[in-house]
Amino acid sequence: MKALSFPEILENIKKEVAHKQVTKAELACLVNADIFLLISGQRSYFFEQKIYYLKEISRLEKLYNKFRIKKHDYKNRWLDKCLEFNDMVNKMKIQIAELNAIVK
């Protein structure tokens, strides 16, 4: 009993049912039921697991965004290099045509 943090349990229950309309009496029942299940060992407290998985999802999203941005940058640089190469080819063709005109 001493290891349980009642404000933390209340806060977690509120977060779990935030999307529902719950009266204070129903919330009190949920808190009491949660305390009973925790003390009896019938329910492992999953809120820490939920926080862990939310952090893991956040970490994976950051990695995904990082590599998506890298891919976008590489693609833009590749397109720039392709355009630069085509410009060089066109300049060389013009120079070759000019040299051919001089030689004739």
> 25 lies in a domain?
yes
Res 35: pLDDT: 79
Domain that holds residue 24: 1-45
What's the domain count of the chain?
2
Smallest Cα–Cα separation from 31: which of 5, 50, 54, 53? Answer: 5
Cα–Cα distance measured from residue 17 to residue 27, given in angstroms and rounded to the nearest whole number: 9
- Are residues 32 and 69 both part of a single domain? no
- Are residues 63 and 104 both part of a single domain? yes
Res 12: pLDDT: 82
- Are residues 25 and 67 both part of a single domain? no
> 51 lies in a domain?
no
- Are residues 41 and 61 both part of a single domain? no
- Taking the chain (104 residues) in runs of 10, the rounded mean pLDDT of each run is 73 84 88 80 67 90 95 95 96 94 84
> 52 lies in a domain?
no
Res 69: pLDDT: 95
Res 9: pLDDT: 79
The pTM assigned to this predicted structure is 0.45
Q: Which residues of 12-39 are buried (b: 16+ CB within 10 A; e: fewer)?
A: bbeeeeeeeebeeeeeeebbeebbeebe
- pLDDT tens track for 72-89: 999 999 999 999 999 999
In angstroms, the Cα distances linking 95 to 81, 83, 86 are 21, 18, 14
Joined tokens for residue 72:
């976008």
Whether residue 30 contacts residue 15, with contact meaning beta carbons closer than 8 Å, is answered with no
